Chains A and B, each alone.
Chain A
Amino acid sequence: GEDVEQSLFLSVREGDSSVINCTYTDSSSTYLYWYKQEPGAGLQLLTYIFSNMDMKQDQRLTVLLNKKDKHLSLRIADTQTGDSAIYFCAEGAPNGGATNKLIFGTGTLLAVQP
C-alpha cells in the first residue's frame, strides 16, 4: 500500500541544524520530494532525490535516502526563523504512475526559536 509518515512537530533553536524524517512504503517510487509550506501559502518544491541516489546536497539542504529502510530525511543547516514552516515529504511513482499523483506525508511543523 501507499503510506508516507512523518513526525508532526519539530522545534529547534536558530543556528542549529534541523532534521526532518519521513518513512514511505512504496518501494517502486522513482522520486522523493520535500515541499515547504509557509503560513497562508502554497507548496514550494525545496528539493527532490532520485531513488537510485543516497544523498543530495543543495546549499543548506541535505537529503539522505536509505532505500533499504525506506527512510528519507531532510537536514537544514544553520536553521533560520524564516525556515519555520510545514515540511511535506512526498513520493512519486515511476513516470508519474497510473494516476500521476504525488503521495504526501502528513507534514512536519518546524518551529525555529530565536
Chain B
Amino acid sequence: EAQVTQNPRYLITVTGKKLTVTCSQNMNHEYMSWYRQDPGLGLRQIYYSMNVEVTDKGDVPEGYKVSRKEKRNFPLILESPSPNQTSLYFCASKADRGSTEAFFGQGTRLTVV
C-alpha cells in the first residue's frame, strides 16, 4: 500500500530537548516536504526536498532542520524545541516537481512544555 508514514503520532517534550520526527514514503517519490498546521493559519511549509541531498527552506524554517540522505526518508529535526513549536506536523511527498497529487502522512502532534 502506497503511504507516507510519520513517527511518532504524538509527542510531549520539554523545552530544549532535541527531537526528531521521522517521515518515510514507499512510493519512490522525489519530492518531500514538511508542513505545520496551526489553528486559523492552515498549513505552512517548513522545508522541502527535491531529491536526495537537495533541501531548501519553506515559509517557516526557523528552529527546524531536515536531511535527505535517502530517497524514502525525510526526518524533521528540532535541535532545541520551544513552546511556539507546539503544532501538528505533516510530511508530504509527490512523485516529482510537476506532479499534481501530494500524499500526506497521518500527522504528528507535538507539544513542547
Interfacial residues, chain A to chain B (CB-CB below 8 A):
4, 8, 31, 35, 40-45, 48, 88, 90, 92, 95-96, 99-102, 104-107
| Set of chain A residues within 8 Å of B59, measured between Cβ atoms | 99, 101
Find residues 37-72 in chain B having any chain A CB closer than 8 Å to their own CB: 40-45, 48, 50, 56, 58-59
A100-B50 in contact (CB<8A): yes
In the A-B complex, the 5 residue pairs with the smallest Cβ-Cβ separation, listed nearest first, are: A104-B42, A104-B43, A42-B104, A43-B104, A101-B45
A106-B42 in contact (CB<8A): yes
* Interface SS of B by simple majority: strand
Chain B interface residue count, CB cutoff 8 Å, equals: 29
| Set of chain B residues within 8 Å of A42, measured between Cβ atoms | 4, 90, 104-107
Interfacial residues, chain B to chain A (CB-CB below 8 A):
4, 31, 33, 35, 40-45, 48, 50, 56, 58-59, 90, 92, 94, 97-107
| Set of chain B residues within 8 Å of A48, measured between Cβ atoms | 100-101
B100-A106 in contact (CB<8A): no
B101-A100 in contact (CB<8A): no
